[in-house]
Chain A
Amino acid sequence: MTGNRVYKTKAIVLKQMPIGETNRIITFYTRSFGKVAAVARGVRRPGSKFGGSLEILNHVQASIARGRSLDNVNECVVIESYQNLRKNLTAIAEGIYIAELVDTFGEDRSPNFSLFDMLLETLSNLDRLEHREFWILWFEFRLLHVSGFLPEFVSCVECGNGLDRTDHVFDPIAGGVLCPDCVNNYGTDQSWNVSVSALTVLRFFQRSLNLNLRSDSSDPYVDDLVDVKAFLRTYMRYIAERDLKSTGFLDLVRFKES
């Protein structure tokens, strides 16, 4: 961070907490500084200078002043507010889940341009409202990649041998999928089975890491996401060492929609 008292950055609003009479603490994921919390004074008063600019999931240009304990939001201008997403309850729940993932995995005051860019891209994908489950899984996969938690899915993580097109044992401690021979020697009690359906999508993701997937990339996979969704949910819970808080509401509204 520079020596300036005021810094400007593009940011996504991840969450808000009311504090004091009319203020909120805003948690941003900023492009230039990683995760930053700052107080927006007077934001709860209708007619406040911030208007609706600090709404959760907005992409904004923010000007933030460093303070003694907490920073203060000086100015905030909306770049994109994803209006389609905001009109769809399930898409809102999905957007909030993505925000919680970034809040959980993003580091305070440490920029990660890849994470910022993929957050932005995912919000745009959700705002188009199509194939949203696919784009969320693709986000989760890349989140594991950029935060150094990506396991091995293509060959056996212990012996390197190729794997048959069948279900396999996944061991989070070994860091990937084990071949039948290695399961006996290296498998731990933390392991679980991952289906060939899940592995197919995971391997597609692994091959696609250096590509920018376009909206038609999801087409061959949208019908077969149940297993990979369950796998990534379990693995995310393992890494975060807890259930993510927003999954309860996400599952509830997805269930009501179906």
Chain B
Amino acid sequence: MQYSSGTPPVQRLIEEFSRLPGIGPKSAQRLTYHLIRMPAEQAENLASAILSVKTRITLCSKCFHITENDPCTICSDTTRDQSKICVVEQPLDVMALEKTSTYDGLYHVLHGVISPINGIGPDDLKVKPLLQRLIDNDVTEIIMATNPNLEGEATSMFIHKLIEPSGIKITKPARGLPVGGDLEYADEATLGRAIEGRQNF
């Protein structure tokens, strides 16, 4: 959307906020009026934080996690177990799993999930780069940690079928993750237990 110089700045900010996920017109107004009352310095910090996210954050060329440096800190940490890759839907899932401090392998972020009714298939996700990683590296275990719902399971089953002929061990987090919930909202204890007690796919 392009704004003419005539669009009032308050209205413009409200409209920008309401384009964010989960922000309705009411919340957008509330945020805008909060910003108006905010000290100038704090507002500048916020603006520069937004800008530096856009200019300095990229995707890791190995695991596709969000990062400032490529490869990311996880991929370049040589103390981590390079033979395990945990496949997740989105960067927030990496952050949730890292908080448990129980998993010491690498990750692969798919950036979505197969959602046929929305026209999203494997080619819209980072599936091919995952297969390439398995060819280029000595990986012995893949942990399929997609969300425990129909589309997450279908995504895992699809990738499982692709990897199965290679003979690589494929596991998934143990039950304990309640069906229907999203990984990123699981508490640390549940998630930690689930990843420790993972089972064969």
Complex Cα–Cα for A14 and B118 (A): 12
Chain A's interface size range is: 35 or more
Nearest CB of B to A131, in Å: 22
Interface: A253 (CB within 8 A): yes
Complex formed: what's the CA distance from A233 to B132 in Å? 34
> How does the 8 Å CB contact mask read for A63-95 relative to B, with 1 for contact and 0 for none?
000000000000000000000001001001100
User: Out of B117, B157, B161, which one reaches A246, CB within 8 Å?
Assistant: B117
Query: Is the beta-carbon distance between A249 and B150 smaller than 8 angstroms?
Result: no
- Asked if B140 CB lies within 8 Å of chain A CBs, one says no
In the assembled complex, A103 has its CB within 8 A of some CB on chain B: yes
Within the complex, the shortest CB–CB distance from B194 to chain A, in Å, comes to 10
CA distance A57 to B118 in the complex (A): 15
CB of B22 closer than 8 Å to a CB of A: yes
Contact partner of A52 (CB less than 8 A), chosen from B149, B151, B185, B186, is: B149
A46 at the interface (CB under 8 A from B): yes
A157 to B: closest C-beta gap in Å: 33
Q: What residues of chain A lie closer than 8 Å to B186, measured between beta carbons? A: 46
Of the candidates A19, A51, A249, A252, which one forms a contact with B179 in the assembled complex, judged by CB atoms under 8 Å apart? A51
What is the bound-complex CA distance between A89 and B151, given in angstroms? 10
Find out whether the CB atom of A46 lies under 8 angstroms from the CB atom of B178.
yes
**What are the interface flags for A12-54 relative to B under an 8 Å C-beta threshold, 1 for contact and 0 otherwise?**
0011000111100000000000000000000111111011111
- By beta carbon, the residue of chain A nearest B23 is A20
A107 located at the interface, meaning its Cβ lies under 8 Å from any Cβ of chain B in the complex = no
Determine whether the beta carbon of A43 is less than 8 Å from that of B180. Answer: yes
Is B154 at the interface (CB under 8 A from chain A)?
yes
In the complex, chain A residues 226-258 whose Cβ is within 8 Å of any chain B Cβ: 245-246, 248-250, 252-253, 256
Which residues from 101 to 159 on chain A have a C-beta closer than 8 Å to any C-beta of chain B?
A: 103
CA distance A90 to B45 in the complex (A): 51
B150 to chain A, nearest CB (A): 4
Query: B116 and A246: CB pair below 8 A?
Result: yes
- Cβ of A179 within 8 Å of any chain B Cβ, yes or no, is no
- Contact between B185 and A45, CB atoms less than 8 A apart: yes
Q: Closest CB of chain A to B62's CB: distance in Å?
A: 26
Contact in complex: A44, B157 (CB < 8 Å):
no
Give chain B interface residues in 7-25, CB to chain A under 8 Å. Answer: 21-22
Distance (Å) between the CB of A75 and the closest chain B CB?
14
Residues of B within 8 A of A253 (CB): 158
> Is there contact, CB below 8 Å, between A50 and B121?
no
Cα separation A174 to B119 with both chains bound (whole Å) = 32
Contact A57 B150 (CB under 8 A): yes
| Chain A contact residues, CB within 8 Å of chain B | 14-15, 19-22, 43-48, 50-57, 86, 89, 92-93, 96-97, 99-100, 103, 245-246, 248-250, 252-253, 256
